Structure 1
Amino acid sequence: MARSETEAADADDSQYEALPASFKEVLGQFVHHLTHECGRSAHTVRGYRADVTSLLVHLAATGTTRLAGVDIAGLRSWLANRRAQGIARASLARKVSAVRAFTAWAHRQGHLDADAGARLSGPSVPHNPPEILRTDQAETLAAATASDGSATGLRDRAVVELLYATGIRVSELCGLDVASVDRSRNVLRVFGKGAKERTVPFGIPAARAVDDYLQRARPELAADHSGDALLLGVRGGRLHPSTVRRVLRDWLSRTGMPSLTPHGLRHSAATHLLDGGADLRSVQELLGHASIDSTQIYTHVSAERLRGAYRQAHPRA
């Protein structure tokens, strides 16, 4: 049975407390680096901290109590231990990535004479095409949310319209303030990974949904502690990503569509933009990808959709 986030956090804290003092000090410096120098999200920092903690716990258990003693043999021993626990390949790949980021940082800081993690190879993970909605399904979903005139219904409509119109991440959506919306130009001011700011346009349906929400729903949901948050929960606090995931899942279920995450709407928006003729660089900028390699996956999705249409429609397919 999967552990709750609270249980997982408690387990990580327990492991951390058992670490040698030298390991705790370096791990604390690394967390500070991720948070204040790299601007990583709290969720990402927690994941990196847990993965590096698991490495340091393993090293301590095998007799290594100083970071300077870490070598590729110790890293491979840790990875083999993780594999033996039956951890999925995708999770192993993520853990290896976190550990390599840690050893690269530790080497730059002088804690390691050499970057042992540079020689650590993780498992290959197949890149399956992302799950997306068809354009007609996206229209059906938007129309369904427009049928609920309650305060939470108007908020849900704004959530769905903004996610699909802009392709922003769920964390970026929940981080929006009222002032992030520029209705004179129909753009959002979004802070993405690494606290990088970008401007993302949205269309008329999303603009109407946001206007209705701000005029009719947000005043009803707002509380003394709401602050400047754009999207609010039922108790007036800033909307949480887990609530957005539940909201989307519920609306998809009501309309008889397969379950999809908010990231699936992001995938859908990017794919539909490329299908409609948008160039790859524009989609990269819209999504806030640091590298165009991350955007390339949507060309594969679009190409597969084109092949499907060809096989269905061409007489000599």
Structure 2
Amino acid sequence: MRDNIENFLGALEIENEFSANTVSAYRNDLGQFVRYLQDRHALESWPEVEPSHLTSYVLDLREREYATSTVARKTAAVKSFFGFMTRNGDLRADPSEQLSAPRVEKYAPRALPEHEVQVLLDEPAKVCTPESIRDRAMLQLLYSSGMRVSELVSLDVEDLNLDGRTVRCTGKQNRQRVIEVPATAARAVAEYLDTGRPAICRNPEEMALFLNHRGTRLTRQGFWLILKQYAHRAGINDITPHTLRHSFAAHELTKGRELGDIQRVLGHVSISTTQVYHQVASDLAAGSNGNGAPGRVAGVGDGNLAETA
């Protein structure tokens, strides 16, 4: 059964050009689904699966109090997989044909007011260790560039051009873009390269920019733990790995930056994806999060895009 899943995931990567994160999520979701079929229903092959098994699986997810969005994603993974199996002739009929995913209400991303971002950015500087120097560089660069966390941790040292104050990052479907780095973030990254990274790095040939305590590339999960720690110290609740990206976009709109420019910096294919930040910026300006209107953060958030050929 797992061989079929790997064939499906391979097709997603090659034919549909899904991101590595999406493929990883689908692998976990389908692995959980297989375990459920084997443990609860003693099924050993895909032709044995019936619509009733899928219905009971979704009910099981609900009983375990998964978020609606999570149930919807897991359901989508199952339906995509069975569609693939049917199209390939591995199944005569699609048992998920009548399975419907729960409706997920769309919501605007949450952004922090600029004064809260500043408090968060100031946290690593309260101590002086190689790790805190690294963390300050990461937070400054993430916020001032609007990068995704997956893009940040994928950076190599060679992606930086500190003389030209730019960074090259690779986004979804391997699309590359070059973003200008504001002076504050550039100084933080330069300090990390001069003093922080050499103290952490154990292999002179290591290419990764941001390293963990073992001297290897920091993961998304590792960054998430670091971010939560600083947010807790700063008294900031309800933060996610994407919060600084959302905050960057909303703050830039508030300052009058063109929506199309923000789209290119964020790496969005469609400008409709970026338009949601109009509402986020309006909410911040109205103080709808209960923290009042934001103030300006000096020296950060003014990154521009340098177009690549």
Task: Give the TM-score normalised by structure 1.
Answer: 0.77
What's 2:9 paired with? 31
- The question of 1:83 aligning with 2:78 is answered no
Unaligned runs of 5+ in 2: 294-309
1:176-191 to structure 2, matched below 5 A, reads 176-191=155-170
Cα distance in structure 1, aligned partners of 2:28 and 2:276: 29
Indicate if the aligned counterparts of 1:39 and 1:195 stay in contact, CA closer than 8 A.
no
* 1:261/1:123 CA distance change after superposition, 3 Å: same
1:181-220 to structure 2, matched below 5 A, reads 181-220=160-199
Q: SS of the residue aligned with 1:200?
A: strand
Shift of 1:77: 4.5
Cα distance in structure 2, aligned partners of 1:81 and 1:258: 30
- The question of 1:123 aligning with 2:123 is answered no
* 1:55/1:140 CA distance change after superposition, 3 Å: closer
Q: CA RMSD in A?
A: 3.1
* 1:94/1:270 CA distance change after superposition, 3 Å: same
In percent, how many aligned pairs have the same letter? 33
Indicate if the aligned counterparts of 1:226 and 1:238 stay in contact, CA closer than 8 A.
no
Shift of 1:188: 1.9
- The question of 1:287 aligning with 2:287 is answered no
1:42-61 to structure 2, matched below 5 A, reads 44-56=22-34
Unaligned runs of 5+ in 1: 1-22
* 1:205/1:45 CA distance change after superposition, 3 Å: same
1:296-315 to structure 2, matched below 5 A, reads 296-308=275-287
Q: Deviations over 1:2-23 (max 9, x none)?
A: xxxxxxxxxxxxxxxxxxxxx2
Q: SS of the residue aligned with 2:217?
A: coil
Q: Deviations over 1:225-281 (max 9, x none)?
A: 761111112221112223322322232333333352331111111111222223333
What's 1:10 paired with? none
The one-letter amino acid paired with 1:183 is L
* 1:147/1:86 CA distance change after superposition, 3 Å: closer
Cα distance in structure 1, aligned partners of 2:216 and 2:227: 19
- For structure 1, which segment, 277-286 or 171-180, has the greater mean C-alpha deviation from structure 2 after superposition? 277-286
Of 92, 112, 125, 1:133 maps to 112
* 1:110/1:291 CA distance change after superposition, 3 Å: farther
1:127-276 to structure 2, matched below 5 A, reads 127-224=106-203, 227-258=206-237, 260-276=239-255
Q: SS of the residue aligned with 2:235?
A: coil
The one-letter amino acid paired with 1:53 is G
Cα distance in structure 2, aligned partners of 1:303 and 1:98: 35
Report which of the two has the higher share of helix: 1
The one-letter amino acid paired with 1:288 is G
Indicate if the aligned counterparts of 1:55 and 1:75 stay in contact, CA closer than 8 A.
no
Cα distance in structure 2, aligned partners of 1:59 and 1:36: 28
Higher relative contact order (CA 8 A, sep 6+): 2
Cα distance in structure 1, aligned partners of 2:88 and 2:161: 42
